[in-house]
A and B are shown apart, each in its own frame.
Chain A
Amino acid sequence: GENVEQHPSTLSVQEGDSAVIKCTYSDSASNYFPWYKQELGKRPQLIIDIRSNVGEKKDQRIAVTLNKTAKHFSLHITETQPEDSAVYFCAASLFAGNQFYFGTGTSLTVIP
């Protein structure tokens, strides 16, 4: 089955700096890659996703890039703010499948 690895496990950045979280996946058939943000004690919420026919997607301060050849995808947060502090999970799934394989999570702390 699919194996998703995520790095780093913890990340601290100064407010205003950029944060990058990287994930790799093992199954070349995976073609949908969502990113979820989980604030302490709350449910995971989708923040951005990308499909395999796209190399990059941006939504305001958040962007995701996908390299299908290398089987890795990354989350980029620019101009970080304290409210960006949370655990971020990457995931991979198949269009034809219906389970998400999650990474181990990155705990992001934005220092004011």
Chain B
Amino acid sequence: EPEVTQTPSHQVTQMGQEVILRCVPISNHLYFYWYRQILGQKVEFLVSFYNNEISEKSEIFDDQFSVERPDGSNFTLKIRSTKLEDSAMYFCASSGDRGGTEAFFGQGTRLTVV
């Protein structure tokens, strides 16, 4: 069964450093998402991406965040200058269509900012 894959599984970074989280969505999917989950809290939407541009973003997704689809397979989330409060599990997801269809989640990248 096709899966969304994320790398790395765990990233530790110093406050103020830039990190790039990588995702390979399911190959025929068109819609891509990043969510985050702070330990013990709900899954929160960050951004959705379609047709090579951001289609929706939340208030969490401020200027320090950016997304990119640099080639036909990867989808990346960049955090420019990490803060302690960015520590969370980051999930990438993809779906074959707009809302009303299943979103498939990757296994997550646990980001720890120290």
Binding site for B on A (CB under 8 A): 31-32, 34, 36, 42-46, 49, 51, 89, 93-105
Contacts and interface: CB of A to CB of B under 8 A. Distances in A.
B2 interface: no
Interface stretch (B13-21, B42-50, B67-75, B77-85): B42-50
B43 A44 contact: yes
Nearest to B55: A98
A34 B102 CA distance: 8
Contact of A96 (B50, B99, B101): B99
A98 B49 CA distance: 9
Interface of B: 4, 31, 33, 35, 41-45, 48, 50, 55-56, 58, 91, 95, 98-108
24 contacts: A32-B100, A34-B103, A42-B107, A43-B4, A43-B107, A44-B43, A45-B105, A93-B99, A94-B100, A95-B99, A95-B100, A96-B98, A97-B99, A98-B50, A98-B55, A98-B98, A98-B99, A99-B48, A100-B33, A100-B43, A100-B45, A100-B103, A102-B43, A105-B42
B100 A43 contact: no
B108 A43 contact: yes
Contacts, number: 69
A44 B45 contact: no
B42 A103 contact: yes
Taking each of B41, B48, B100, which has the highest tally of chain A beta carbons within 10 Å of its own beta carbon? B100
A96 B100 CA distance: 8
Contacts of B105: 36, 43-45
A28 to B, nearest CB: 15
Contact of B100 (A44, A51, A101, A103): A51
A99 B100 contact: no
A104 B35 CA distance: 14
Contacts of A89: 42-43
Contacts of B103: 34, 46, 100
